Structures are given as structure tokens and as C-alpha cells.
Amino acid sequence: MRILFVAALHHPDALQKAIAATPPGETPPIFPPSMGQYHWDQALRKRGHITSVFYRNIPAWGATTERHTEGLSVQKVLGALARRIPPNLNPDYRARNQRLMEQARQFKPDVLWMVGDNRVITPETLTSIKRETKCRIVYSTGVSPIVFSLPIERAAARLYDLVLVNDYYHGIQWLELGAAQMECLPISACNPAFHRPYELTPQQRQDYTCDIAFVGTLIPNHLYSLRVKALEALKDFNLGIWSVHDVPASLKPHFRGYALGEDMLEVFSAAKLTINVHGDFMRYGGNMRLFEAAGVGILQLADDLPGTHQWFTEGETIVTFRDMDDLRAKAAYYLSHDAERERLAQAAQAHVYAHHTYDQRIARVEELLGG
């Protein structure tokens, strides 16, 4: 199949670094390794599909990136004002839609793969592309349409031939909005060539070693309050926190810096445990960290959600907690029982390598699309 991704480009510096590191004769990546789409694209290419990408968040004056912080900023205000302009009346958005239309005409995709959080591409553009190229639209998203989706996304829901979600409950919501079909894969997975234990230099050992590591987003509070509460309950442990965004004041003493892509996996390689608490908007489960951390071979303490128990076995490949007292008790127990902790971590790694790789996810998508 010919698959055209329509996605926002995050971490452009990481993409340029990955392109520069591509061996001669190999096709450069179209996403940085810090984005999940990188692994989707690699798996698609391995199975013989032809891929391309349209970066919908790049305006006429070049790429922009945003580091989320608490409180107001000029960037937030300008972004909010720009989003109040209907996309059809926004000259820059109209130009981007036209560029996508032209790229689709040239590429002639069998599948237009829309990545969630679309703020730019209009239903009218998608309708025209479907009509002219006869492609199907796959919409992949890791967040709730109730909490996050915009009118532009909801208005296009009936054009989506297949919605891929992490959280089963989110999939039901997309069906209610009019999507033809949904599948809870989940869209996150592991890539054994990438999500693995990393050899560390002495400096990395010094920078990353801790008993309990957390890598991820912690603001705004109304979306990640459960994560913050869990980490606050562990402040008297040897806790290390890494995030590309700001962190709440209560957790700043434990903040170690940024970690993306391989840096995140190196952090996990140096720690004894990791905490995985889903965002407040994921009540079924299935975030990226669930499978990535397991691939590195570190035991994770995860919140008690239905999806976690669907994809892992309690006490064999994962440990879940019910409340903060339970979290503290289990963290203390596994930090003092090295052999048991290592046994569970190795079992988790073997499990995701056998059942939750991006290659297997793509095979399932091929089935859903009919071959």
C-alpha cells in the first residue's frame, strides 16, 4: 500500500539528527525516534509498504515547537487567538490544506493515515482527497475525543474508515461520532531493536541512576493529576523525574532534565523501577510507556486499569497498585527484593517482544484494511 501520513512534526532537531545518522543507501526516517509514528513507519516499510508524510503543523515561515509550561505565555495567547479563526478563513491553514491536496494528488495514497490532534486539515479537504484518490482514511489517536478533540476533528469523524485507539473507551466515543470502524490495538507497542536495555557510560550512570524513574508529562494538572499524586506519594524515595515540559513545584526537587527517544530508554536502563500512571483521560489504559518500559526490561508499577490487565498478567509481567498506600508498599517491597524484581522485569520484556511489537500491530491493521 501507499500510505501518506498526515501528522504534526515534534522534535525536529531529533529528526535531523536521525536523518544525519542514516547509513548510506538506507531510506532516511520521516519521523524522529522520539515519536511513536517513527516505529509505525519503520514497521510499514519492513512489510513492503511505501510511505510519505505531510507535516500539518509547519507554517509558511518554518517549523515551530512548544514546551508546555504552567500559566500564561505569549505563545499560548497567540495560539489560542489563532485557533479562534475558523480554519477555512485562516490564510495559513488554507495554504496548508492546499499543499496537502497537491501532495495527495502526486502521491496517490491507498491510505491517508491521519494522526490525532488535527487542528488544521478540514473535512472538505479530506472529502476531496477521498473522492480524487479513492483512498481510505485511518485515524490514529491516543487521547479521548471528549476531552481533546476539536470541532474540525469531530466534523470529519464520518469520513474515517478506521479509527485506531489505545483506550477502548475512546474507540466507542469515535463510533458515536460517526466513524465506520474502530480497533483498540492499542496503537502503542514496542520495537525490540529500539526498546531494549542500553549500555551506559559512567557519566550516564551518574546522571540517570535512581531507584524509581518517571519519564513523561505532568502538566496541566487537570489532565495529569493522578500522575502528580502518585509521584508526590514517593517523594521520600530515591525518585528521578524527566520531562520535556514543565513540572509542578512540588516535584521540582526531583526533576533531572529532559529525556526523549534513546535518552528515555537510557534513564530506564539505569533505574530499578518505573512508575506508569495513565493520564486522567485514559480510564481503560494503553499508553506508550506501558509497552516501551517493558521492552527495556525494567519493572513498572502501573495504575490498576482494565487494559493493563488485558495486555499483561498481574504478578507475572506487571505490578499494579490500587491507591497511594498500596503504591508505597509495593515500591518498597520490590526495591528490597532484587531477584523477584528482575524476574518480573525479564518476563515483561519477553512478553512484549512476543506479543506487542509494531510489526504485529501493522499485521493487524493490514487485516482490518483487507490485506
The four Cα atoms 318, 324, 325, 331 give a dihedral, to 10 degrees, of 40
* Domain ranges (residues) in the chain: 2-189+358-369, 202-355
pLDDT digits (tens, 9 = 90+) for 134-185: 999 999 999 899 888 888 999 999 999 999 999 999 999 999 999 999 999 9
Q: For residue 320, which of 277, 356, 272, 268 has the smallest C-alpha distance?
A: 277
pLDDT digits (tens, 9 = 90+) for 325-342: 999 999 999 999 999 999
| Alpha-carbon span 218 to 232, nearest angstrom | 12
CATH of 202-355, one of 1.10.3720.10, 3.40.50.2000, 3.40.718.10, 3.30.70.1230: 3.40.50.2000
CA dist 82 → 20, 86, 90, 154, 220 (Å): 34, 9, 8, 19, 21
Q: Of all helices (H) and strands (E), which one includes residue 1?
A: none
The pLDDT, as a whole number, for residue 65 is: 47
* Cα 123 to chain centroid, rounded: 24
| Alpha-carbon span 9 to 58, nearest angstrom | 8
Residue type, 152: I
Which residues of the chain fall below pLDDT 50? 63, 65-68
The pLDDT, as a whole number, for residue 73 is: 59
Torsion sign (Cα): 238, 242, 248, 253: positive
Overall fold of domain 2-189+358-369: Rossmann fold (3.40.50)
The four Cα atoms 113, 115, 117, 119 give a dihedral, to 10 degrees, of -40
pLDDT digits (tens, 9 = 90+) for 75-86: 556 556 666 677
Domains 2-189+358-369 and 202-355 share a fold: yes
The pLDDT, as a whole number, for residue 291 is: 97
The pLDDT, as a whole number, for residue 371 is: 53
Q: For residue 55, which of 111, 12, 108, 2 has the smallest C-alpha distance?
A: 12
| Alpha-carbon span 220 to 187, nearest angstrom | 24
For residue 205 the three cell numbers come to 550512570
